Amino acid sequence: MTTGFGTALDTDIVRRAQQGRRDAQRQLFETFQRAVLSSLTGLCRDSELARDLAQDVFIQAFDKLPQLREPAAIGGWLKQLTIRTALAHFRRPQLVVSEPEAMPEPDARDWLSQTDWLTQQDDIEQLLSILDDHERQLVWLYLVEEYNHTELAELLGLPAATVRQRYHRALQKLKQRSNT
């Protein structure tokens, strides 16, 4: 049985929720509440903020649900809405500043080996706490939510090479901290 955003929900329930039926909306909420909250907690570090954002996600979901064309895609649609809500919360106006000393793009084998190293750590949550919000979100979206660098680049509105470099730097930061 699939869990999280991959949980199958009867398309009739989704259709009734699209029509504004409260009982169907409640079923949708109960089915995906844990997945939404889990993703947001991982992205935000703050359980109170995650609960606030989860509420925002479901308010937006019920408002936009009539626009969903394929009821069977509810899980993926809700996952995208969850991630975009979290990123919108943390998005700040960014000044265009040149990257400090441009690093060569990391070799794919290098960042894959660093990713393998990170997933073998005992307390990933504690280790990720040393990262700033943007670094943590990038690492979380890649490792936990399984977005690839191209998808992250599109989601964040950045070039894929920049996403890979920032991910690589975040992993280096984690590795340095764990060695001390």
pLDDT tens digit sequence for 95-115: 344 444 444 444 444 444 444
Predicted pLDDT at 96: 42
In the chain, which segments carry CATH 1.10.1740.10? 4-90
Q: Check if the beta carbon of residue 156 is closer than 8 Å to that of residue 106.
A: no
Mean pLDDT value across residues 5-25: 94
What is the DSSP secondary structure assignment for residue 99, as one 8-state letter? P
CATH classification code of 108-179: 1.10.10.10
User: Which residue matches tokens 């359980």?
Assistant: 47
Instruction: Return the amino acid letter for 53.
Output: L
Q: Which of the four pLDDT bands, split at 50, 70 and 90, describes residue 117?
A: very low
User: Given a cut of 70, is residue 116 above it in pLDDT?
Assistant: no
Predicted pLDDT at 166: 86
What share of the chain in percent tops pLDDT 70? 77
Give me the half-sphere count of Cα atoms (radius 13 Å) on the Cβ side of residue 111. Answer: 20
Mean pLDDT value across residues 8-35: 94
State the CATH class of domain 4-90.
mainly alpha
**Distance from C-alpha of 36 to C-alpha of 57, rounded to nearest angstrom:** 8
pLDDT in tens, 18-27: 999 999 999 9
Give the other-Cβ count within 10 Å of 5's Cβ: 20
Give me the half-sphere count of Cα atoms (radius 13 Å) on the Cβ side of residue 162. Answer: 13
Non-local CB neighbours of 65 within 8 Å, separated by 6+ positions: 14, 17, 18
The pTM of the full predicted model, rounded to 2 decimals, is 0.66
Integer CA distances (angstroms), 95 to 79, 92, 140, 168, in order:
29, 9, 24, 22
Which tokens belong to 163?
């996403």
More confident residue, 99 or 55: 55
Q: What is the average pLDDT score of the chain?
A: 80
In the chain, which segments carry CATH 1.10.10.10? 108-179
